[in-house]
Chain A
Amino acid sequence: MAYKIGYIDPSFNTPEELIMAANLIPYRIFGDPTIDLMDANKFVPPNHCFWARNCLQRGLNGLDKEIKGIIITHACDCSNREYDIWFEHVSYDFYYYLNAPLKRDKLSLKFFINDLKELKFQLEEHFGVEITDKKLYEAINLTNEIRKLLKKISEYRNKGLLLGSEFHAIIKNAYKSDKKDVLHNLKEKLKKLEIKEPLPYVDGSKKRILLTGSILDDTEILKYLESLGFEIITDDLCIGTRYFHNKIEITGDPIKDIANFHLSKPPYSTEHPSSGRFDFIKGLAKKYQVQGVICLVQKFCEPLLYEYPFFRDSFKEMGMPFIFLEKEYKRDSYNQLTTKFEAFKEILGGVKK
């Protein structure tokens, strides 16, 4: 049985390839918006984001048996501070806090390389494996191939052949499964898409939108948006474009290549400078000619809450309809947003397609 390393990452800076080269399966831990948070509430104060709290609850409830260690990757105060709580209350022999840098310059790159090397060392020591450059490049080639396929598949959202929610489920799966299976499934999916006729739902009444926000890991929220008449054409999410937008450039130093890859991805709101996030969204919105931008934020997600006025004003200046909504991390609460979304749909008005 292949063992897994579970990782919590509010953005996406965890080196999957390093874990794979240790003969382990990287398994990104997502929340579950249907569970009760009783135990996590005993450890986490009420003003902390509910997504991170939910992941902790999942840990307290017990994760899959194959998971043999936990990595938590630096992004925001909630995830940072909750590492120690995981360490104290969720029992694993292997724990690593990855200090993914806040900045994206030469010094941070050097630091990130050091931290990745330390992770490599600790994985080797703990699991009694040797992570060679050869194995690292095998893993890199595999994830690069996956990214290439995902990029191709993502375009079918814009062709009316793939629902945003379907694509979301595909990426989520890619984060959790053995990458060899992922590759196989993606190839099959692409084959099917290539011969597929446009879906009947392209009836002109749907509103083409770009989806952004904090981590959105419940596919149901995308289905909910679709049920309201929105068509998710593109996104800048980590369970989305940020996962496959870039590829790992191969230079002969695999750890450095992985570090470089993460520091040159489109930025997230937890990084500095973060203004590039708007520029990236703007580029996507133009490229895919969306009619509006939906920004869905987890309640108490500070990094995003600080960005709101800037986003609002910048989209206004761009002439792009924009809605920013805070949401609870509870599936049965999504319906509470319906009135606001209906109003937003009205604003989007005429159909472009």
Chain B
Amino acid sequence: MPILEVRDLCARYTRSGPEILKDISFDVEADDFFAIIGPSGAGKSTLIRCINRLVAARSGSITFDGRSVTSLPARELRSLRRDIGMIFQEFNLIDRMSVMDNVLSGRLGYTGNLRTLFRAFPRTDVQRALEMLHRVGLEEHVDKRADELSGGQRQRVGIARALMQGPKLLLLDEPTSALDPKISREVMGLIKNMAQEFAVPCLCNIHDVNLAMEFCNKMIGLQDGVKMFDGPTAEMDQAKLDEIYAMEVL
């Protein structure tokens, strides 16, 4: 059974606004590194935000791990989000907090309000955070403020935060678009390795097709909210790419 099933998903931001996603369906299996490619403005971010309901879908169904995402009440929605890690294009770290606090914030879904107030996380969480920071190669920067780090380092903090959740799925929204090409490749490699080690499937927006070809095993292509391609990466060819990115050339 696939970990994530998306069926006939439609989404729009305002009631009278344009339809951003039009009848999207796809499945993510437990060992997938799944790419969503497409020109900018195609609706990739919108699609990925529908999965953990940062954006509410208008119609269609999303089933994650046997639970229907679209119809959960608030409390269960939070426990669903706990199981889905997310890594952002702009990192979305808390700039004024330390690297440690940023990584620990991945555990907030498991933390009570009183502990949150005093940032008093259980020992096991701290231990786990240290391990994560060691894995992403930031153990020397534990007490630095997040805004003192370079772009690549900031995204590593983002990765550590997402994995702190112990997620069953990772959502990646163009995780490397704000980084330069060399660092991009490193960060993608790190994500892929960590995902394999923790056996977490990934659903990843990528603007850069070469990276998608290199790291992902399946992909869908979006153009203006419509799914144009769905299949293993190997089946993707130049003609299909040209079609998907046709709008961008104009």
Q: Do A and B bind each other?
A: no
The residues of A with any CB-CB pair to B shorter than 8 Å are none
